[in-house]
Structure 1
Amino acid sequence: MTITKRFWIALIFSLPMLVGMILMPFGIMIPGGEWTQFILTTIVMAVAARPFLQSAWASFKKHHSNMDTLVAIGTATAYIYSIYAMITHQSVFFESAAFVVTFVLLGQVFEERMRNNASNAIEKLVDLQAKEAEVMRDGKLVKIPLAEVVQGDLIKVKPGQKIAVDGVITEGSSTVDESMVTGESMPVTKKIGDKVIGSTINSNGTFMFKAEKVGSDTMLSQIVELVKKAQNSHAPIQNLTDKVSEVFVPVVLILSILTFLVWYVFLGATIAQALIFAVSVVVIACPCALGLATPTALMVGTGRGAKMGILIKNGEVLEEVNDVKTVVMDKTGTITNGKPEVTDIVGDSQQVLKLAAALEESSEHPLATAILDKAKADNVQADKADSFQAIEGKGVEAIVNGQKAFVGNDKLLNDVKISADLENKMVQLQNEAKTVVFVGLNQEVIGMIAIQDAPKATSKEAIATLKARGLRTVMLTGDNERVAQAIAQEVGIDEVIADVLPGDKADHVEELQKNGKVAFVGDGINDAPALTMADVGIAMGSGTDIAIESGGIVLMKNDLRDVAKALELSKKTFNRIKLNLFWAFVYNVLGIPVAAGLFFAVGLTLSPELAGLAMAFSSLSVVTSSVLLNKAKIDTKVKTA
């Protein structure tokens, strides 16, 4: 039975007793008197309160206690004593047991509703999916349900339509509104070869695209799954709450017993009066608010992040972010655009480009792509390369036309001859922030290709923002020192670690961790070990699947400025968890003395039913505090020169 149904049952069967309490001063009694109260309360205890009793008993059998233990003991005590009092013709307080159950369930109904509102923000994205797609089948365009779209299908999208699944444009161009997935408010221009995301909205053009990911593999489905996991994850600070609750419940029960003994034995109260104080202590101390402090804030924070295009994968990240001292960034695709272009060819351009293209045809490196694009643009036909061999972090070697050829960086030039003119030209190009690729035959460099990957327009602002937050910024790259320093100077990076082999990035991150916690930002396959090694791994959304899987935070917009936003949001979410825990503790500390009758002499007391109502509103206040995270200002802008 749902919490809402249990609440309505408790409320309906408690209301007659409430009416009876209101009419009692006027001499009007509830029909049936105590027997009617007994029957009504028995229904409430048997139906609405049963899960509390079952949970408390299950914990007791395992020698544990939980929040339900206090509710169960408080209500059961009031109920059982009232049965005894009814038989012995003493005052009963059946209504206390019924009202406590009703008010506890009222608090749970409120918290469930607010938690649903927080999580439904992501679920609504799924409802925005296209219901059908216009797919090319047997040479004709036919409309089919979304579930029937398969990988490789060619799909037509008209202006104003939703894109059915993830894919790559094969014909036409348009602008696409991707705000529902990435949080980016401005439409993005798309042309042949560009990727499109399922459920985003086509603005003004018509295009065809090839389906690459369908069903649960689409980006939207993965976002929903990631956020669900994050919202159900366990932040380490929750361990403190669990430990406190484990001790707190037995302590409260002891205080309740002491309260009863003090009032009954030493202060001369009746059993009924002493029992009311004891039950009030049990009910007011129920640490429901304590249990809600972490999960509700985590749920709202991760939900808000998803709307901003920032996916926080788990609660652990939130705590780690607070102590981060250094932000380490990969260069290619993170600080730079990730689309290198050939700018200069030194030597016989036709020969150099033809030889380089022959070797790079079998390579997947971004620089290889730049060389192949240049060869294609210049209509250069590459020769066939045999015995291809990739040398990690250095380059490639192969046999072309019976001669040993190589293309790579300066690490490949151990026993290779290079003229003084080429060396001087290399220094000049590197000082211009260009990566130099050496092309050679038979142990001699015959030319060089200069490739440049310009920094993103937003990188300087992003790094200035991080530095303004007191964070140290480091570039970690496999590129050579001169190129790395030139780009670092352009964007304002504090420190450069260059000439790093792909497998060594994680080692450098580990070394930096000796001076404090480190966040690493990257997007490539070779960044995965560093993302995992860092205290906080931040993966760019345009990166490889393995990099995204390794990161604790994923930036869907591929915008370096979102690093500061992610850190700020994580920090605010964690601070809200701490604020919730503080108020939950304060509430219990202040409430218990009042419920125990410490201020009875000045007329300040709490009956069990009022204690239950106060507890319900305590839980509601914690949930409301978490929901207010949606209104928290995430301001990371700084003025840059």
Structure 2
Amino acid sequence: MKESNVHTELHVTGMHCANCAISIHKYLEKNGAKDINVDFAADEVKFSDIPQEQIPMLIEGIESLGYKVIDDQDDKPGFWHSIEFKFFCCLIFTVPLWSHMFTAYPLLHDPYIQLCFCIPVYVIGFSYFGISALRSLWNKMPNMDVLILVGSTAAFIYSLIGTGYNLGHDYQFYETCATIITLVFLGNVLEKRAVKKTTSAIKDLIKYQNVDAIKIDGDQEITILAKEIKSGDILKVNTGNQIPVDGDILEGQGWVDESMLTGESMPVEKLKYHAVIGGTLLTEGNIRIVATKVGSKSVLYQIIQLIKDAQSKKPPIQKFGDKVAAYFVPIVVSISFFTFFITYFIAQLPMQQSLMNAIATLVVSCPCAMGLATPTAVMVGLGRAAKKGILIRGGSTMEEMSELKQMVFDKTGTLTTGDFNIKAIQTFGIEQSQVESIIAQLESYSSHPIAKSIRKQLKEIKPFRIIFKEVHEIRGKGIFATDTNGNSYSICNAKLGSKDYSNRYDLTLTINEVVIAGIVLEDQLKPYAKELIQYLKDKGIRPILLSGDRQSKCERTAQKLGIADVYWDKSPEEKLEILHKLKKKGPTAMVGDGINDAPALTAADVGISLGDSTHVAIQSAKVILLNSDLRSIEKLLKIGHHTLLAIKQNLFWAFAYNIVAIPLAALGFLGPMVAALSMAFSNLIVIGNSARLRFKKLK
């Protein structure tokens, strides 16, 4: 159990269906908890706004519902207390009971022998379903176990009365009672295993945290667990080893496979002082690193929490299913009661037939399928996106992605690389080669991305050597220098000069405050930018360019990409105002990477931030592209579309199954055993359709 004054996380065992989750959710809501998320597949319950001193009272309340709160997930019950063991025990006693229908062996037809076989199954079933059902009724939150308890108990008591009064074979339904319980256990076992597959993405990421590390302690090398590493520890990583924590390289170099983080299959070269991320794989080389971020501060931990939090945010489409599931049990019990009343008292069918119809009505119904329809699909969708280097905040984002009508892009660093090439240099009374040499020398004093790009392009130019006595850079303006002869030089943003230069050039080079050259820069388009814009158009999503850059550059970029709607020279405040206007025309996404994009990313229906973005931009977005590849936006849209499609298919099946199956059972076309089997496999169809998303080809 993890807790604080604001947020609490509990590990709760005994939840085996969506109705269990709804019962706990209602209980916590009734007691004032906020931000409630009950994940029965992961045995996790999260909530906030409950003072620490009230947590023990809430734990007692949850346990009074029939569940068990444990301090650590490692304390989960072993096999002997598991649902699998209960199923196998019931199966051993049920097979002889069930087989009596196919054999004339007298012993198996003896009612007392049948009673002996049925009692262990009923006791095991009651200890699992019965106690949970009674507690849920006591707390006025009936769950699905009520249906199983009523159905199996009715068959057991009816058979017990028939045995006691020696009423004959027509009153013996021990095999019905035992088979219902055993088949429901089977369904729960299969469901539990299937649901685990939908949460495999988180489990795969958690595995990356549970590795060994080699710690350097003086002259000794000590093997420790990754969770024991402290910030500042020196660690050794050899070829083929997993990097245990986030850190910086102190010695050595190598190639690192970051596919678990970004989805990019090609290894990345890492040199001294480069940062490395825990969970990635050193495919070649040997390095020593200093641990910088451990535990909850590590990138991997934050990604896992992001995915977990995302799974807890339900899309709007789930709300209807949850409402129906909450009222489902009382409705089905009422239908079952009226089935018995009508068939026995009005249709005047035999008692045993009327009872079997009522029991079949109870056990054929499946509220769990409605509860599982959305979360299982969302889990798989989020997991598949994460493996592609796409982190999505909230299942609701999936639904929002499928409804987009517009996608707004920042320019520099989003649609373009941010690597600037010199398109043209216009000189005024000075040789071109001399100008290029001065530019290269001045830019060598700056670490700005534009300066690096210019140096790379002009590195082959033979320098016209100038000895500078003083050089300083003013952020947002330019570089200013003085040589040994007292001459002043500057290479500055052209916007700071006269309009004659600012309208035509990006940078101006001056000597003694006289402009000697104007420089035009050209930003390179990112790979796949043009294809992405065309894909959006084909999907009916309008692409829009919204930038703080000047008009000529924005229009040139838009023309290359085929974007018709362009906004230029916009401040963060103006970007926000434009985005609010665009949202009135339809659901809008914003793709950006800088601090100036943060307000717009927050205001958009879906904010998409690139992985190499600033921290502020990442925190403002609903979607983070860890690999900064524009192809990821296309993948994101496809995953969102197919996830929503799976949710709709699941909900359709869940409602259609119950609408068809319950009347069939009530009319006597489905016996209790067939009904129990149908119910068990109804959930598996929903889960299987969700799990299909893991491998489905996204068209």
TM-score, normalised relative to structure 1: 0.81
Per the alignment, residue 120 of structure 1 pairs with 200
Alignment of 1:545-556 (within 5 A): 545-556=615-626
Aligned pair 1:591/2:661, yes or no?
Answer: yes
Shift of 1:384: 5.7
Superposed displacement of residue 587, structure 1: 1.2
Q: Is contact 1:55-1:68 (8 Å) kept?
A: no
Amino acid at match of 1:630: R
1:504 maps to which residue?
Answer: 574
The answer on 1:289 being equivalent to 2:369 is: yes
SS in 2 for 1:520: strand
Shift of 1:349: 8.0
- TM-superposed CA distance for 1:569, in Å, is 0.6
Structure 1 110/193 Cα, relative in aligned 2: closer, same or farther at 3 Å? same
Q: In the TM superposition, what whole-angstrom CA distance separates every residue of 1:563-591 from its partner, at most 9, and x where no partner exists? A: 01111011101100110111111111221
After TM superposition, the structure 1 stretch with the greater mean CA deviation from structure 2, 151-160 or 182-191, is 151-160
Kindly provide the CA deviation profile for residues 79-103 of structure 1, in whole angstroms up to 9, marking residues without a partner as x: 3444444444441423323322221
Question: Using the alignment, how far apart are the partners of 2:113 and 2:540 within structure 1?
Answer: 70
Give the Cα separation in 2 of the matches to 1:575 and 1:446.
62
Q: Superposition pairs for residues 6-405 of structure 1, below 5 Å?
A: 6-23=86-103, 28-30=108-110, 32-33=112-113, 35-36=115-116, 39-54=119-134, 56-58=136-138, 61-62=139-140, 64-90=141-167, 91-128=171-208, 131-133=211-213, 142-145=221-224, 146-147=226-227, 149-151=229-231, 157-169=237-249, 173-191=253-271, 194-207=274-287, 209=289, 211-340=291-420, 383=471, 395=476
The 1:337–1:74 alpha-carbon spacing in structure 2 relative to 1, beyond 3 Å, is: same
RMSD: 3.9
Q: Distance in 1 between matches of 2:491 and 2:332?
A: 74
Partner residue of 2:540? 470
Structure 2-normalised TM-score?
Answer: 0.75
Deviation of 1:437 after TM superposition, in Å, equals 4.7
The whole-number CA distance in structure 1 between the counterparts of 2:512 and 2:328 is 78
Q: 1:479 to 1:207 in 2, by over 3 A?
A: farther
1:335-363 deviations in whole A, cap 9, x for unaligned?
122345677787888998999999x88xx
> Structure 1 502/349 Cα, relative in aligned 2: closer, same or farther at 3 Å?
farther
- Say if 1:357 and 1:344 are closer, same or farther in 2 by CA, change over 3 A: farther
Kept in 1, the 8 Å contact 2:194–2:684? The answer is: no
CA distance in 1, matches of 2:478, 2:268: 40
- Partner amino acid, structure 2, of 1:76: T
- Give the 3 Å change call, closer, same or farther, for CA 398–628 of structure 1 in structure 2: closer
SS at match of 1:332: coil
Query: Structure 1 317/31 Cα, relative in aligned 2: closer, same or farther at 3 Å?
Result: same
SS in 1 for 2:405: strand
* Aligned residue identity for 2:127: V
Q: 1:217 to 1:514 in 2, by over 3 A?
A: same
Distance 1:520 1:417, change over 3 A: closer
Counterpart of 1:584 in structure 2: which amino acid? A
> Aligned ranges for residues 422-437 of structure 1 at < 5 Å?
422-423=501-502, 426-427=503-504, 429=505, 436-437=506-507
Aligned to 2:597: 527
Give me the whole-angstrom Cα distance separating, in 1, the residues matched to 2:662 and 2:86: 27
Relative to structure 1, is the Cα distance of residues 88 and 535 closer, same or farther in structure 2, using a 3 angstrom cutoff?
A: farther
Using the TM superposition, give the Cα deviation of residue 521 of structure 1 relative to its aligned residue in structure 2, in angstroms. Answer: 1.6
Contact 2:571 2:596 in 1 (8 A): no
What is residue 630 of structure 1 aligned with on the other side? Answer: 694
- The one-letter amino acid of 2:154's match is T
Of 597, 610, 632, which aligns to 1:562?
632
Separation (CA, whole Å) in 1 of partners of 2:520 and 2:612: 25
Distance 1:631 1:482 in 2: 45
DSSP-derived class of the 1:49 partner: helix
Question: For residue 612 of structure 1, what is the amino acid of its counterpart?
Answer: A
- What does residue 564 of structure 2 align with? 494
- Which digits, 9 at most, give the CA deviation of each residue in 1:258-286, with x for residues without a partner? 21122111222222221110111121123
Which SS does the other structure have where 1:261 is aligned? helix
Deviation at 1:530, TM superposition (A): 1.9
Q: Secondary structure at the match of 1:474?
A: strand
- State the alpha-carbon separation in 2 of the partners of residues 82 and 408 from structure 1: 94
DSSP-derived class of the 1:519 partner: strand
What amino acid maps onto 1:297 in structure 2?
Answer: A
3-state secondary structure, aligned to 2:414: helix
The offset of 1:39, in angstroms, is 2.7
* CA–CA separation in structure 2 for the residues paired with 1:14 and 1:48: 17
Structure 1 SS opposite 2:591: strand
SS of equivalent to 1:338: strand
Give the superposition deviation at 1:560: 0.6
Secondary structure (helix, strand or coil) at the match of 2:525 reads: coil
Assess if the C-alpha contact under 8 Å between 1:336 and 1:456 holds in 2: yes
Mapped partners of 2:195, 2:623: distance in 1: 22
Q: 1:349 to 1:187 in 2, by over 3 A?
A: closer
Matched residues in 2 for 1:43 and 1:160: separation? 53
- Report deviation, 1:478: 1.3
- For residues 567 and 38 of structure 1, the distance between their equivalents in structure 2, rounded to whole angstroms, comes to 53
Q: 1:554 to 1:76 in 2, by over 3 A?
A: farther
Aligned residue identity for 2:343 = W
Deviation at 1:562, TM superposition (A): 0.8
CA distance in 1, matches of 2:105, 2:542: 71
- Code of the residue aligned with 1:593 in structure 2: it is P
- Inter-partner Cα distance in structure 2 for 1:449 and 1:153: 48
Work out the CA distance in 1 between the residues paired with 2:180 and 2:481.
85
Contact 1:463 / 1:493 at 8 angstroms: preserved in 2?
yes
Question: For 1:621, which of 685, 688, 692 is the aligned residue?
Answer: 685
Q: Which amino acid aligns with 1:330?
A: D
> 1:574 aligned to 644, 666, 670, which one?
644
Count of aligned residue pairs for this structure pair: 598
Which amino acid is the alignment partner of residue 559 of structure 1?
Answer: D
**Cα distance in 1, alignment partners of residues 102 and 128 from structure 2:** 24
Q: How far did residue 27 of structure 1 move? A: 6.9
Describe the SS at the equivalent of 1:14.
helix
SS of residue in 2 equivalent to 1:184? coil
Pick closer, same or farther for the CA change 1:531–1:80 going to 2, 3 Å: farther
For 1:316, the aligned partner's letter is: S
Residue ranges of structure 2 left out of the alignment (5+ in a row): 1-80, 428-434, 483-488
In structure 2, the CA distance between the partners of 1:223 and 1:417, relative to structure 1 (3 Å rule), is closer
How far apart, CA to CA, are the structure 2 residues paired with 1:573 and 1:30? 53
CA distance in 1 between counterparts of 2:470 and 2:423 reads 19
Does the CA-based 8 Å contact 1:417-1:444 persist in structure 2?
no
Counterpart contact for 1:357–1:375, Cα < 8 Å = no
Equivalent-residue separation in structure 1 for 2:694 and 2:537 (angstroms) = 26
Partners of 2:470 and 2:181 lie apart in 1 by 80
Quote the Cα distance in structure 2 between the aligned partners of 1:27 and 1:203.
67
Identity, in percent, stands at 37
Q: Secondary structure at the match of 1:204?
A: strand
Against the structure 1 CA distance between its residues 355 and 182, is the aligned structure 2 distance closer, same or farther, given a 3 Å change threshold? closer
Deviation at 1:159, TM superposition (A): 3.5
Q: Greater relative contact order (Cα 8 A, min sep 6): structure 1 or 2?
A: 1
| More off after superposition, 115-124 vs 578-587 | 115-124
What residue is the counterpart of 1:612 in the other structure? 676
